[in-house]
Amino acid sequence: RRCPRGLRLPRGGRAARAGVTAFPPCRYLLYASGDFVKVHSVNTEETLRLLCGHADLVTGIQLNPQNHMQLYSSSLDGTIKLWDFMDGIPIKTFTVGSRLLALYTLAGAEDSVFVVIPKKGERDTFQLVSVKLTKGAGQDLEGKELSVVLDGVGASTKQTAFGREGSYVVSVKDVNLQVYFFKRKLLNRFSLSTAKTKGDNRFSCVACHPTEDCIATGHADGKIRLWRNFHSKKAYTYSALHWHHDIVMDLAYSMEGTRLLSGGVESVLVQWHNESSCQKDFLPRLGSPIECISMSSDGALCCTLHTDNRITIINSNLRFSRSIQGLIKSRDVKTGLVVDPRTKALVLNGEPGHLQFYSLQSDQQLFSLDIVQRQYIHQAGLKQSDLVKVAFSARGTWLATVEESEEVTDPELQLKLWFYSEETQSFALNTRINTPHDNHITDMCFRDMDELGDDSLILVTTGRDCVFKVWVMVEDSDPEAHQSVSWSCDFVGSYHNYQATNCCFSEDGSLLAVSFEETVTVWDSLTWDLKCTFCHPPGNIRKICFGRLTCSKYLIGATDYGFLCCWNLLTCALEWSAHLNVVVLQPDPISEHIAAVSWLSKESSLFVFKPSEPRPIYIQRNLCKEKILLAAFVPRDEPEMISSEKYLWLRKSQLFFLTDTQELMTLSTKSLEERLTPSSKQLAVEESLPVTPFSVLLGKHRRQQAQEDIDLGKPVVHKQEQASPAVKELLHTPAHVLPSASFLCTIFINSLLISKENKSAEEVADEVEMESEKAEDESDEEDVTAMEQEDTSHMELLGEMTCKLSKSQEKELRKIRKMDYSWISAF
């Protein structure tokens, strides 16, 4: 049951392909993310379902053209799965055998789908095949009946497209375009000449016009070509549209084919009207390069998938609607994994120049803090400035950030200090220090002293200009200034003109350890005197950290030459050392454990140890194949019950890793199935529905009623909660599928009546008489709700259903007619 392996998290995975489903009111967005398919509500921005079952990356998802409540998905594990995505149940699994790289469905071909598979025996050659989906009774079926449609297609989903009503299929690869006409069984090949043009005119993507015989292709030089008349090999024509300055990443036609959307690295969505190059609209500054564009089936929405793992939903009038973002993938995580003490969120580089606060519990970005505050321009070869270091003070009230430009020599450096303001619930810039060091800043840390408060707050930065600097808060003497404190430099220390590489404060804040290349120096944080130095040649110091709690007398250091050393600060001697190529050294902030991740012979291993004893308490070899770059301990909200002795160190905090492919992983003591307990989330119908005038009216009435109750001082308990489903059903069901008003009247009125529980003893006698009615009412209610559920799925049956009124119901109606309706005039 226990899973000792490093687990790929369901969160933070790369979104592979997005698609807005064809559900009538455009309510769901389906996208593949890692091994999973996610069902997302467009209105509430919530993940409703997680379809898991594939064993490898999901490469393609398509709605079942016959039933829009079903979804086909293909994966690298060689299976095609058919899902009921509303309930999250896999219906069927077809095993194809070879790796599936893309998936297409056609409305015309009922029992077959098209997939791209690698050609047997040849590398980097792919073929488009149609898979016959056998109709069998069981869940697991074979899908071995393959017939090759096209040879030598591109591996990406974007490089193949099906034309008008599935009459032809187009595929592009390099400079070749091939069209296969299903009816005529004709294959036309066109290729662009590479000699004439200066730029790189290879194909990058293709899209087909939904109603006309027209193919749009995107090219690596930023051009879009529109091909027509491609039935004949000779008389074909093409025209070019050019706006993008770099590769066109994806193209999509609107449902009517009047608009063509294109996107690329400029992170601008371009909308071309009527295939003319003069009429175009832009949606600029989408944040990061567009990788994929998808239109919803009714054309009301469009969504773009970005390289930084984000989906943007855009209205048909090219207005930004909302975005779905998990862990934003940044170009390079330079800041490291930092835990925000306030929200327990993981903090790291997000969008260029931004700091993202990523909540691990909800797999959502909490917010993104703009640090650089400068317009980001996507252009190759431009020296961007980005965030490189982040540090939080112990209570999260202060945030220090360092940004620098990418220039190797003479970087433009800025140290910024942010204060968390309780009123605005966000960080506000307090101090900006230009060029705090003359060269790159290598490390930064706050003195974490919870008990002494903010007065003792000290920030230390180390730089390659061979000094470390101590920054302190100073009271602003100027009473008219906006802020009362600011930061300034207090002390500059250096050691033999070596580059300062790391810094670390001891737990009680009295000692500062700064590593200068091969040497670790220990300084008194009150007087800034050099206390002692440690050295373990050869090799520069890579990481240092102090022990905590019972092990606070130890200082741990990892060197370049693969040594992990532990020095005793009392005796100033080496306590122990171990031969280990440590990449990551991460102390747990709430226990004495220290995690070290090593990188040896292409695998990462994890060692957890206490500084007091050289034997590690936990070893996990071959944690994952990727190189682990960063790690962070995140404190748990409540200690987890862990029975195994081996995992006791995971009781209070959780360890997260970030690999060089920017995948976030954690060490879990539970198996995957346990963790992915189906979240009992309903497809929230009620919440997402719009407010109708009638519901407003009812709301008003209810409020008035409540007011009256309070005025009278009678603690009347309303049974609104019980009545509400019926009323809600009544209010939210579209008028044309409702039974006649007279039929519904009873339920409605009954739901408004004051319930019987509150009646006094004198009325008990009456109650008995009404008992039978009540029973009938309830049964009616059930009937109606059941009926309505049917109604939504089978609208055509409606007429018959409403006619069938039972005798008892007729009696009811008559009774209602006699009732007093004078209260209605209150409306």
Partner 1 sequence: MAAYKPVVVQACPKLGEKITQDTLYWRGYKTPVQIKEFGAVNKIDFSPVPPYNYAVTASSRIHIYGRYSQEPIKTFSRFWHAAYCATYRDDGRLLAAGSEEGKICLFDVSGKAPLRQFEGRTKPVHLVGFLSDKYRIFSGGDDYSSNLWDIPSATEIISYSEHTDYVRCGCASKVNADVFITGSYDHTVKLFDARTKSSVMTIEHGHPVESVLLFPSGGLLVSAGGRYVKVWDVLKGGQLLVSLKNHHKTVTCLCLNSSGQRLLSGSLDRHVKIYSTTSYKVVHSFNYATSILSLALSPEDETIVVGMTNGVLNVKHRKPEEKNENSQKKRQPAYRTYVKGRTYMPKQEDFCVSKPVKRVLRKYDKLLRSFQSSKALDAVLEPPIMLHTPEVTVAVMQELHRRGTLRSALAGRDEKQVNLLLTFVARRVIEPRFTPVLVTVADMITDIYQPVVGQSAIVDKQFLKLQQAIGKEIDYQEELLEVLGMMDTLFATFTKKRDACLEENKSNGVMELIETNRNY
Q: Is 511 in the site for partner 1 (CB under 8 A)?
A: yes
Q: Which one, 373 or 661, has the nearer CB to partner 1?
A: 373
Task: Compute the distance between CA of residue 653 and CA of residue 747 in angstroms, rounded to an integer.
Answer: 53
Q: Which of 115, 131, 535, 582 binds partner 1 (CB under 8 A)?
A: 535
Give the tokens for residue 100. Answer: 């599936």
Mark the segment that binds partner 1 (CB under 8 A) among 138-146, 339-347, 565-573, 638-646: 565-573
If one asks whether residue 537 binds partner 1 (CB under 8 A), the answer comes out as yes
Q: Which of 107, 148, 377, 549 binds partner 1 (CB under 8 A)?
A: 377
Q: Choose, by CB under 8 A, the member of 364, 385, 442, 746 that binds partner 1.
A: 385
Looking at 164, 395, 531, 728, which residue binds partner 1 (CB under 8 A)? 531
For the CB of residue 711, give the shortest distance to partner 1 in the complex, in Å: 18
Task: Please state the closest distance from residue 312 (CB atom) to partner 1, in A.
Answer: 7
Among residues 37, 170, 371, 569, the one that binds partner 1 under rule CB under 8 A: 569
Find the binder of partner 1 among 43, 167, 307, 323 (CB under 8 A): 323
In whole angstroms, the minimum distance from the beta carbon of 516 to partner 1 comes to: 12
State the DSSP code for 426: E
- Smallest distance, partner 1 to C-beta of residue 286, A: 6
Q: Residues 234, 235, 236, 239: what is their CA dihedral angle, to the nearest 10 degrees?
A: 130
Is the distance from CB of 618 to CB of 646 less than 8 angstroms? yes
Count other C-beta atoms under 10 Å from residue 499's C-beta: 19
d(CA 3, CA 732): 47
Report the C-alpha gap between 100 and 63 in whole angstroms.
17
> Closer CB to partner 1, residue 377 or residue 819?
377
Q: Distance (Å, rounded) from C-alpha 133 to C-alpha 145?
A: 8
If the CB atoms of residues 639 and 699 are measured against partner 1, the closer one turns out to be 699
Strands 28-33 and 36-41: antiparallel
Cβ contacts of 708 within 8 Å, gap of 6 or more: none
Token pair in block for residue 619: 């070893």
Distance CA 787, CA 668 (A): 46
Instruction: CB nearer to partner 1: give 206 or 569.
Output: 569
Nearer to partner 1 by Cβ, of 448 and 663: the residue is 448
Neighbours of 363 (CB within 10 A): 19
Minimum separation from the CB atom of position 535 to partner 1 (A):
6
Q: What is the DSSP letter of 261?
A: E
Q: What is the nearest approach in angstroms of partner 1 to the Cβ of residue 612?
A: 12
Quote the CA–CA distance of 315 and 184 in Å, as a whole number: 39
Structure tokens at 783: 């009937």
- Nearest approach, Cβ of residue 59 and partner 1 (Å): 28
Query: If we measure between CA atoms, which residue out of 302, 271, 311, 305 comes closest to residue 290?
Result: 305
Residue 707 corresponds to which tokens in the numbers above? 């007011």
Q: Among the candidate windows 130-138, 677-685, 692-700, 713-721, which touches partner 1 by CB under 8 A? A: 692-700
Cis amide bond preceding 538, omega within 30: yes
Going by C-alpha positions, the residue among 118, 67, 112, 121 that lies closest to residue 94 is 112
Comparing CB distances to partner 1, the nearer of 710 and 795 is 710
Place of tokens 């002390």: 491
| Residue nearer to partner 1 on the CB measure, 98 or 568 | 568
Task: Report strand pairing: 146-153 vs 653-659.
Answer: unpaired
Sheet holding 603-609, edge to edge: 582-587, 594-600, 603-609, 618-624
Nearer to partner 1, 519 or 598 (CB): 519
* From 68-76, 132-140, 248-256, 377-385, span contacting partner 1 (CB under 8 A): 377-385
Which residue stretch of 91-99, 166-174, 528-536, 627-635 sits at the interface with partner 1 (rule: CB under 8 A)? 528-536
Q: Which stretch binds partner 1 (CB under 8 A): 39-47, 523-531, 734-742, 752-760?
A: 523-531
Q: What is the DSSP string of 205-259?
A: EEEE-SSSSEEEEEETTSEEEEEE-TTSSSS-EEEEEE--SS-EEEEEE-SSSSE
510 binds partner 1 (CB under 8 A): yes
Q: Return the residue of 474, 676, 696, 706 that touches partner 1, per CB under 8 A.
A: 696
700 binds partner 1 (CB under 8 A): yes
Angle at 180 between CA 96 and CA 247, to 5 degrees: 85
- Amino acid residing at 248: V
- Cβ-proximal residues to 391 (8 Å cutoff; 6+ apart), any chain: 338, 399, 400, 444, 445, 446, 459
Binding segment toward partner 1, per CB under 8 A, in 39-47, 177-185, 533-541, 663-671: 533-541
**Of the listed pieces 74-82, 92-100, 335-343, 374-382, which binds partner 1 according to CB under 8 A?**
374-382
| Given 329, 536, 548, 593, the residue binding partner 1 (CB under 8 A) | 536
How far CA 246 is from CA of 218, 262, 290, 297, in Å, comes to 10, 12, 12, 29
Angstrom CA distances, 447 to 344, 419, 458, 511, stand at: 19, 16, 5, 10
Residues 32 and 13 sit within 8 Å (Cβ to Cβ): no
Minimum distance, C-beta of residue 571 to partner 1, in the bound complex (Å): 8
Told to check if 574 binds partner 1 by CB under 8 A, we report yes
Binding-site string for partner 1 from residue 262 to residue 301, where x marks contact by CB under 8 A and - marks none? ---------------------x-xxx--------------
Pick between residue 63 and residue 292 the one whose CB is nearest to partner 1.
Answer: 292
CA–CA distance, 254 with 271 (Å, rounded to integer): 10
Residues 6+ apart with CB under 8 A from 747: 726, 730, 777, 780, 781, 784
Q: What DSSP state is assigned to residue 627?
A: P
Q: Which of 446, 505, 523, 567 binds partner 1 (CB under 8 A)?
A: 567
Q: Which two tokens stand for residue 643?
A: 């029975």
Binding mask 428-457 for partner 1 (x = CB under 8 A): ------x-----------------------
- 402 lies in the binding site for partner 1 (CB under 8 A): no
Query: 399 near 390, Cβ under 8 Å?
Result: yes
Q: Are 769 and 756 in contact (CB under 8 A)?
A: no
Could you tell me the smallest distance in angstroms from the CB atom of residue 491 to partner 1? 14
What residues pair up with 31 in beta bridges, in sequence order?
Answer: 18, 38
Which of the stretches 67-75, 181-189, 696-704, 808-816 binds partner 1 when contact is defined by CB under 8 A? 696-704
CB nearer to partner 1: pick between 573 and 803: 573
- Which among 224-232, 373-381, 444-452, 645-653 is the span making contact with partner 1, rule CB under 8 A? 373-381
Residue 610 beta carbon to partner 1: minimum distance, rounded to whole angstroms? 16
Residue 682 binds partner 1 (CB under 8 A): no
DSSP string for residues in 561-576: TSEEEEEETTTTEEEE
Nearest to 180 by CA among 200, 166, 195, 196: 166
State the nearest-atom distance from the C-beta of 409 to partner 1, in Å. Answer: 13
Question: Which of 147, 193, 232, 375 forms a contact with partner 1 (CB under 8 A)?
Answer: 375
**Segment contacting partner 1 by CB under 8 A, of 379-387, 443-451, 726-734, 789-797:** 379-387
Q: Least CB distance from residue 514 to partner 1, whole Å? A: 15
Residue 245 vs 817, nearer CB to partner 1? 245
Give the one residue of 141, 532, 801, 816 binding partner 1; rule: CB under 8 A. Answer: 532
Q: Which stretch binds partner 1 (CB under 8 A): 325-333, 371-379, 462-470, 735-743?
A: 371-379
State the distance between the two ends of the chain, measured CA to CA, in whole angstroms: 62
Residue ranges that bind partner 1, judged by CB under 8 A: 283, 285-287, 312, 320, 323, 370, 373-375, 377, 379, 381-383, 385, 405, 412, 434, 478, 480, 510-511, 519, 529-537, 552-553, 567, 569-570, 572-574, 696, 699-700
